Amino acid sequence: MNIKWPKALISVLTIVFFTGTLWGCGTKNVDANTGSAEKADLSISTWAGADELKQMQVIVDKLNENATAYKLTIQSIPAEYNIKIQTMISAKQAPDLMWLSQEYIPMYATLGAIEDITSRAANDSNVNLSNYFDGPLDTAKYKGKLYGLPWISGPVVMYYNEAILKAAGVDFPDGNWTWDDFRVAAKKTTISIKGDGTIDQWGTVIAGWPPIQTWIWAYGGETIDKDGKIQIDSPESIKGLVMLDNILNVDKVSPSKEQAQNIGDADLFKSGKIAMYFGGVGDDLEKQINGKFKVGMAEIPQGIKKTTFSWIASTVISSRTKNKDAAYKALVDMTNATFQWKVVPPVKDGFDMVVKNMPEKAYGIDVIKKSAEYARGFNNQEKEAEIDNAIWEQIYSPLISNTKTPEAAAKDAAAKIKTIIGQ
C-alpha cells in the first residue's frame, strides 16, 4: 500500500495551519484615513448592549447619512468594558472614539492615550461649552485641559414610596429636607410589617450606594480637593461621615449589605420594602414598579448646602486615531445627537427631551432640573480607581459593617490615599 499520500496531506495541512496562524496574527493594513468613498472609517466603542445598542445604531446611521467626513462604526463592548478598552489601548488598537466614565479621564489623559480637544472645542461654533453644567464639564477636564465631551449626567435624587410615608405620617419631602429630617422619616418608616419584631420594611437602603461623597460634600467636605490635596479627614468631611454613621448604625434604618447585594437595592425599593431610595434620575424604576405603589421624587436632603453626586460619562478621542479632524467632527456630531437621546443630557437646554424620551419621569422634571444644576462628579485623580477602592475599604465598608468610628475611618483613608498619590 502506498502510504505517501497521507503524509503529503498532513504536510499540506500543517503548512496551511501554520500559514493561517501567522496570517491571523498579522495586522490588517487598511488606510483608515481614506476608507470607502473618501470618508474616514472611524469606530466608536460603547458599553451599550441590547435595546440601548439598537437606539444608538439608529443615531449613528443617521449621522453617517449626513456626514461627509467620516463613517462611524459602533464597537459594542457590553461586558468588562473598561478592561477591554485598556487592553485595546495597550495593543494600539483603541477605537477612534470611546465612551469613558468620568473616573478614567485623568488616567488616560496622563498616559497620553486620549486627545486634548481644548482649543478645537473653544473655537468650534458647534460646541457651546457655556451651555454645559459645570459639574459634568469639570469631569472631562484634567489640569485645565479638555479631553472629551460629556453626553450624560445623571444626578442622584431621592425616590420615595408615597404609601409608606403616608402610613407613617411623614409629609412628603419638599426639596428642603435636611439629613436630620431624613433621619426622622427613616426611623418612622423602619418597622416590622408582620409585627413579629423582625424588621421587614426599612427607611432607606445604603449598602455602597450612593457614593460616600454624598454626605461628605453636604457638610462642606471633600475627599480630595481640586488642587489634589487630601481633605477626607477634615472636620467638614468627618461631619458628613458622622451623619452617615448615625443613619446606618445609630438609627439602623437600612437592611444589611448582604441583603441589599443579594436582592439588589433598587429591587428592594421596587418590591415596596424601602421608604426612600437614592437613585439616578434616569433609573428605570417607575415602569418596573408598574403602579404597584405611587413613586415620588425629591432632591436629596442637604447638610450645609445642596449637592448631589452625578453619574457622568464623556466621549473621548483616542490619541492614536489616524484622522483627528474627522474624529473630532464625529465626536461633536455624536455628542449633540446623544443630547436628544440620553436622560439626562449634561446641558442647560436639554430638559425638553427628558419628558419626550421618558414620559414616566414627567412628574419629577422640576426635581431633575434643580438637581442637575448643582450635581457634580468627583475631583478625579490619575489614580482614581485606587483612591475609590481605598475609600470603600477604609471608610464605606467599615461604616456599613460598623467596625470603625467615622474619625478612625477617615484617618485610615487619608493615610492610605497619601501612599497612593505619594503625598
Residue window 283-322: x/- pattern of binding to another protein, with contact defined by CB under 8 A = ----------------------------------------
Residue window 367-396: x/- pattern of binding to another protein, with contact defined by CB under 8 A = ----------------x-xx--x---x---
- Does position 33 interact with another protein (CB under 8 A)? The reply is no
User: Cβ 113 to another protein, closest distance in Å?
Assistant: 5
Which residues between 261 and 280 bind another protein (CB under 8 A)?
261-263
- Which among 139, 141, 307 is positioned nearest to 212, based on CA atoms? 307
Return the number of other C-beta atoms located less than 10 Å from residue 130's C-beta: 8
146 Cβ contact list (under 8 Å, min separation 6): 116, 117, 118, 121, 129, 137, 140
Which listed residue (257, 273, 329, 342) binds another protein by CB under 8 A? 257
- Does position 423 interact with another protein (CB under 8 A)? The reply is no
Which listed residue (12, 21, 31, 305) binds another protein by CB under 8 A? 21
Looking at the chain, the number of H-run helices and the number of E-run strands are: 19, 11
- Does position 14 interact with another protein (CB under 8 A)? The reply is yes
Return the number of other C-beta atoms located less than 10 Å from residue 8's C-beta: 9
- Residues 345, 312: Cα–Cα separation, whole Å: 10
349, 74 contact by CB (below 8 A): no
- Does position 34 interact with another protein (CB under 8 A)? The reply is no
Which residues between 87 and 126 bind another protein (CB under 8 A)?
87, 89-90, 107-108, 111-113
What are the C-alpha distances in Å from 60 to residues 16, 31, 39?
39, 21, 14
Q: Which is nearer to another protein, 13 or 122 (CB)?
A: 13
Q: Which is nearer to another protein, 307 or 381 (CB)?
A: 381
What are the C-alpha distances in Å from 116 to residues 66, 92, 101, 121, 122?
26, 18, 17, 10, 12
In sequence order, what E strands does 130-184 have? 141-142, 145-146, 148-161
Q: Which is nearer to another protein, 255 or 280 (CB)?
A: 255
384: its cell numbers? 482614581
Which residues between 216 and 255 bind another protein (CB under 8 A)?
255
* Residue 150 φ/ψ region, left for φ over 0, alpha for ψ in the -120 to 50 degree band, beta for the rest: beta
User: Cβ 269 to another protein, closest distance in Å?
Assistant: 16
Contacting residues toward another protein, per CB under 8 A? 7, 10-11, 14, 17-18, 21, 25, 82-83, 86-87, 89-90, 107-108, 111-113, 255-259, 261-263, 383, 385-386, 389, 393, 397, 401, 403
